[in-house]
Structure 1
Amino acid sequence: MQTLLRILFLAGALLWAILSNAQSVEFSKDRFGSDKDGLKEALREIKEGDAWYDSDPPRYEQALPHYLAAQKFNPANARLNLRIGNAYLHSGFKPRALAYLQKAAQLNADVDPNIHYYLGRGLQLNAKWAEAIAEYKAAIPAATGKTAPAQIAAIQRKIAECENGRKLMARPVRAFIDNAGPAINSPYPEYGPVISADESVILFTSRRDNSTGKQRDPETGGFFEDVYQSTRGSDGQWSAARNLGNPVNTDGHDATVGLAPDGQRMLVYSEDNGGDLEEADLRGAAWRKPQKMGGRINTGKGHESSAAYTPDGRSLYFVSDKTGGVGNRDIYKVEIEGRGPAANLGPTINTPYGEEGVFLHPDGKTMYFSSEGHNTMGGYDIFRSVFENGKWSAPENLGWPINTPDDDVFFVISASGRHGYYSSFRDDGLGSKDIYQITFLGAEKQPMLSQEDQLLASRIQPVKETMLAPPVPIATAQVTILKGVVTDEASKQPLEATIDVVDNSRNELIASFRSNAQSGRYLVSLPSGVNYGIVVRQEGYLFHSENFDLPAGAAYSEVVKDIALKKLDVGVKVVLNNIFFDFDKATLRKESTAELERLQKLLVETPALRLEISGHTDNVGNAAYNKDLSLRRAKAVVDYLVAKGTDKARLTFAGYGDTQPVAPNTTKASRQLNRRTEFKVTGK
């Protein structure tokens, strides 16, 4: 046994001696005289690589294939390994730099004065936090001259990032990170995903060979950017992504940066004026030509790179590098149709460094964004902040493995908080940068993430659930998604109708949307904490109303409500879902005002219209009492309309008690449907 240990010790010592004395092998005839053709080809590859590497600006990714070809011929040259490592540090696959940088340092410890800093970067990008910190500390003595203070400050910042990374990696977020698959990703770069609130639509930017102009960017050599779209089927699978074509995509660069929760409005990045934001509307199946968003958002020579709608569609959060900000890129908020200037979100959100990729959750108060500041573990990390009590909370890092030591930008999340989407360079990608889906599991769920490869979590089949996903810690998910199809009741054909969202307690119109002109589909995002009146209207039809009273803190839910609008004909009945009475009384509550005003407006706009207002109850309690209560409630509505100027002769009222149910009185929900106020057209 002792002999075996001695042999192993001597073998290890010999290996260490060989590695310690490793020297850089030059590309010379003295070393490779027996393979002159191979040497000649390797030198040619190095020359071409150097031309890209030393260009102004450097083209590192173009240099890489030439350097790698030469490195295959001679893997033991310190300068070549250093240049490959540095080129990878400036590529999409930065973690690959480490092996080449370590090889360069092994071959020649003095290969570059900044070798310790480069090694620190390579180690940090591979989440080797302690080793990275040691190399960064070793890099400090190399900082000399007038720029030494700035160099030392930059190194100390990198050390702080590693400390952040060590802490965050010690308590990983439980999530699966899965490639979105070949329907969305291709061998070309895909990035900047945006989704509708219910995840039924995804749009993203890609540089594919079927781009509209089929031109290559002279700066990068890649194809120009275009916008692509995919839809999720009933089986949960994404359709093959299609190029949106004209007029959204042009011969130049076209990128999507934001999508309204209902998927009917899109924000597009334009190269004009150094980088501006434009807006396109979906009419039917076709997107209209993007239009400029105006000077309060776009700032001449400024660069506006990303943006997000608020759920009501009235305001915009956007990123700009215009002068006067906290850092070099800040997040602002502005009312789209207002007149006031855009407001900087201030130092709680914005840092002296860069902010990017802003996204507002459909709950209207939770913002996700990327930042080079705060407690990032390197590059841009994704953060979350909540607007409560008039201010933004301290941004919270989403944690490892969602965030990595490299840039993590342009993150979006579904209304449920169940899934997030972003783009990343990963070894399981289909080519270049790909779009990935994050499935948040929650702390109580099993199994645990693999500790062997936390960056690339275990692969699982897509989750197929018919029940609503429960709230998870990573998102507030205090929102209800109301969606469905608007049709003509008689023809069953889809209708393009206006959907008004009203705050009943304040009698205030919050937002207006339109159902799709071709499909009739609509989607409305309703943050918790409001008694909502939903009114669907179209010229030539009677309005349809729904009520959603969502208390503060109500968890995520998704409601599918198809709405068939009725034309104004004698005998047609319409339920007034936003008429409210005090308990067991015929006293109209103030939340009824908006609905009553709509009914009054209908009577004014249709002078010949005659209505019967009727009250209805469930079957709980005494039948005679219920009939009397329903009569008194119907009369209260008539009295209100008459007081507002409607001719009393145009109105009648009736109380039917529990004699005309619209649902079985077997559950709480069905009994609620039977307790209603409605009107019937008796003349027109």
Structure 2
Amino acid sequence: MLNTKNHIKLAGSVWLLAFLLSHSVLAQETVSLSGANSTQNDINPVWVGNNTLLFTRAFHIENVGGNTDPGDIWMVQKTGENEWSEAIHRADLSTSGFDVALGLQNVLTLLVFHEDQEGNAGIHEYAKFGKDWNYRRRIEVPQINDFKGVVSGNVVDGKYIFLSGNGPNSLGNEDLYVFELVSGITWSEPQNLGIVINTFGQEVSPFYDSKTMLLYYSTNNQPGARGKDIYITKKMGDTWQDWSNPVNWEKLNSPGSEMAVAFVGSNQVVWSSSQNSNGFSDLLTFAQEEELELPTDFTPALRRSISRNVYAPAIEQSDEVYLTEEKIKPISPLIAVGKPEVGLFIDSVKLEQKPLEWIAVDAVEKVKVDFELEFLSKKNPVTFAGKDTLFLSDLIKKGVDEVKVLSNGYFPQIMPVIALNQEQPNMALLVKVTKGSSIKLEKVSFQRGTSEFEGVETELALKEISTFLLENEEVVVRIHGHTDSYGDPSLNKALSLDRAKAVRDYMVSLGVPFERMRISGWGGTRPVASNATEAGRQKNRRVELEVQ
């Protein structure tokens, strides 16, 4: 078994000085953004036009919460070529909690992320009046209160919010997500940007340029990354999961940790970097404004798979396959004030592959049941010889996206390949098809406030359950629609019934007899979780199938 170790540490100031001097000779010289930096963390630069850059400053005495305040919004203005004013505290955009400017939704509207001292988070709207920003309202962003960790991002074209955080369905620590504007101030649920970008490490500070379709972000879990490095990837398809192989933007990166780029016109970029011995971040730029050197070779990503603890590299050409387990341990500076950027030790260990195992269990009686496996791919039909010994690499090479667990007399269960575990058997809890038993249609979702389906996964999920009903002609079901408790109860009940009807109508179009499906709409009267949090409300907005 091969053992290798790659230790990444924050470097001392003397070594970094030598690095910066040599770096300035070989390429564009990197300099501190005059006026913008302090002895604390200066992070998350956001360009809002009118020669103005907003950023977050942590643990400063002038912050709303004083030197224990984890981050207020500050402002610097560009006064000439690479000349900037002294930073000004924007108390009108700040709270005693953690504050991050996300950028302009339009010329008069700024979106800001706030997290209070109790951990309650939200995105808020501010309106510009002269030189001041006036608070307007909190906007409806589903599951935003679930985002923890390093939260940052940007607003794109007024209709997308790209955000990092340890959020819903995160593969490990912070992942990258996108929200899409539905209507008015209402946004869609967060979409994970997928496994080409996201790993079980940290992916933070997304910046997306819709004109070039390039996404800039920071990660500590790409091959060759030193601390956190800035990478660039290009959108290659129709979905938010279709990206090119990430490319290291070497011109910006150092042995410290780099995050959060902001473009100041076409020839200047600002980013944050922990290039000092205490590990705190400063805002940097290039000494001269000249055409930026960006990577241009973006190739479609090879398929990757991530389980809870194991990362499988892209597999195409070689039959020699191995998996890499990476153990991440934070290290802190010996002397520091506040909460500095941390470095990482990353230990990579070459592991022998273990064959995948499955267990199917009756969800009520908790006894094992016989089962079969079906392998699903969005591109090509996939077959294997029954339940013969299979490795994760086998599924990856054949393009398998999901594994369906089937047992006679039970509803099937679908397990995404990215969730498969190599270290222990993958357990499928199967619900028996008996009168009164029910399942939640996990992947069925609707556009906010309507009965219109959202996303291709909804139709694929309904095709799966329709196939099951067509193969089991004796089964009669009732489709239950549910909402959360927010809003008018009568409107919620009508909406839940409309959604149940939409599900039935779609399955009728696929051949399931109308008379075998009844519908009910319960509004918010049958919650399965608390409506006090967005996470709970999300669980309450559901469609269930009950056997009659």
Structure 2-normalised TM-score? 0.44
Structure with the higher fraction of residues in strand conformation:
2
Higher relative contact order (CA 8 A, sep 6+): 2
Structure with the higher fraction of residues in helix conformation:
1
Structure 1-normalised TM-score? 0.36
Computing the radius of gyration over CA atoms, which structure comes out larger, 1 or 2? 1
